[in-house]
């Protein structure tokens, strides 16, 4: 429905830290021409906690306009408040995005029944296809396999981005959800193992810079050439790791700027990469011939 390799896109900012919509369009176009089948706008990597609803909606519109017909656009519309998530999802639907991605409500730590109700209520208030996003390292709450399995019965909940690191949970989701329920890796490090468990692809951070290679890795695996796919995975593994040397999206923003696309700084409370971190990243990018 959305493609195999989606990029969780960074949000470009101007010097005054206002959203740079023109640069967002430039970046989105670059990504879909370099391995990405689609773009996730205002996810974690897009610094969603520091964006207003109006900024998010304008970003959905700008990216949709930039890549119309070239790739899918998923709107990050998750909140820890169900009412607000419903409201933003409705606005995204009016823009004409292809789907939405809903992160597990964070901080308030609802029980599994509460999580089920939250996602079901949002899905019932939109005609958009919905991708669930489980990232307990960020949200402090795991969306358990049984809850995902139950939610897969909601007609327009069509998949999950899994970033729990729990491969037993991933396997259970894959084995007990419908065949057309899409399983994405939510962590570049886990893409190859999740493909082996029946995953469809990845919602990636690293694809900002190695999108074509990641696309090849997924394609080789699906053609049955696991050896070649693994070779790419192992080659990129140090790069996947360095992008999480500190809190995402600090390092990927530094990498995109090193590549020559100035996406600006980060909004507080996030900070820019240190000189030492940038030096390590540049050295590895040189080694991988990413310039």
* CATH code of 111's domain: 3.20.20.70
Predicted local distance difference test score (pLDDT) of residue 1: 82
Of the candidates 56, 141, 161, 215, the residue annotated as catalytic is 161
Q: What is the pLDDT of residue 69?
A: 87
Question: Which tokens sit at 180?
Answer: 């057309």
**pLDDT tens per residue, the chain (291 residues)?**
899 999 999 999 999 999 999 999 999 999 999 999 999 999 999 999 999 999 999 999 999 999 988 999 999 999 999 999 999 999 999 999 999 999 999 999 999 999 999 999 999 999 999 999 999 999 999 999 999 999 999 999 999 999 999 999 999 999 999 999 999 999 999 999 999 999 999 999 999 999 999 999 999 999 999 999 999 999 999 999 999 999 999 999 999 999 999 999 999 999 999 999 999 999 999 999 998
Residue 261 lies in a domain: no
104 lies in some domain: yes
What confidence score (pLDDT) does residue 8 get?
98
Establish if 285 belongs to a structural domain: no
What confidence score (pLDDT) does residue 291 get? 86
For residue 125, being part of any structural domain is answered with yes
150 belongs to a structural domain: yes
> 154 lies in a domain?
yes
Measured CA angle at 65 (ends 59, 81), to 5 deg: 30
Burial class of residue 269 (count of CB atoms within 10 Å of its CB; 0-12, 13-18, 19+): exposed
Residues 6+ apart with CB under 8 A from 80: 105, 106, 107, 108
Listed residue (34, 37, 58) closest to 46, CA to CA: 58
- Among candidate residues 79, 133, 184, 192, the one labeled active-site is 133
How many independent structural domains does the chain possess? 1
pTM for the whole structure = 0.97
Residue 270 lies in a domain: no
Selection from 119, 127, 137, 169 nearest residue 44 by Cα: 137
Domain span holding position 151: 5-225
| Residue 12 structure tokens | 């470009």
- Asked if residue 289 is part of any domain, the answer here is no
Does the annotation mark 133 as catalytic?
yes
């Amino acid at each position: 429905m959305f493609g195999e390799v989606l990029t969780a896109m960074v949000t470009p900012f101007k010097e005054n830290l206002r959203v740079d919509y023109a640069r967002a369009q430039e970046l989105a176009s670059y990504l879909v021409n370099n391995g990405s089948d689609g773009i996730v706008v205002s996810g974690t990597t897009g610094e969603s906690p520091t964006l207003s609803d109006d900024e998010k909606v304008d970003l959905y519109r700008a990216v949709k306009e930039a890549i119309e017909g070239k790739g899918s656009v998923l709107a990050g519309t998750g909140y820890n408040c169900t009412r607000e998530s419903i409201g933003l999802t409705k606005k995204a639907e009016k823009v004409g995005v292809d789907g939405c991605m809903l992160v597990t409500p964070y901080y308030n730590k609802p029980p599994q029944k509460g999580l089920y109700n939250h996602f079901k209520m949002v899905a019932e208030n939109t005609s958009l296809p919905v991708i669930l996003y489980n990232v307990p390292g960020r949200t402090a709450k795991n969306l358990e396999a049984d809850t995902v399995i139950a939610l897969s019965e909601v007609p327009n909940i069509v998949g999950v981005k899994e970033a729990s690191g729990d491969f037993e949970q991933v396997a259970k989701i894959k084995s007990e959800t419908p065949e057309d329920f899409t399983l994405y890796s939510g962590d570049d490090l886990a893409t190859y193992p999740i493909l082996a468990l029946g995953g469809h692809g990845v919602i990636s951070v690293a694809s900002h810079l190695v999108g074509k290679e990641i696309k090849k890795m997924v394609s080789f695996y699906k053609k049955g050439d696991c050896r070649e796919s693994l070779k790419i995975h192992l080659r990129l593994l140090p790069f996947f790791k360095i992008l999480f040397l500190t809190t995402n999206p600090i390092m990927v923003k530094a990498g995109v700027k090193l590549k020559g696309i100035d996406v600006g700084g980060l909004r507080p409370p996030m900070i820019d990469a240190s000189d030492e971190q940038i030096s390590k990243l540049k050295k590895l990018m040189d080694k991988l011939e990413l310039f």
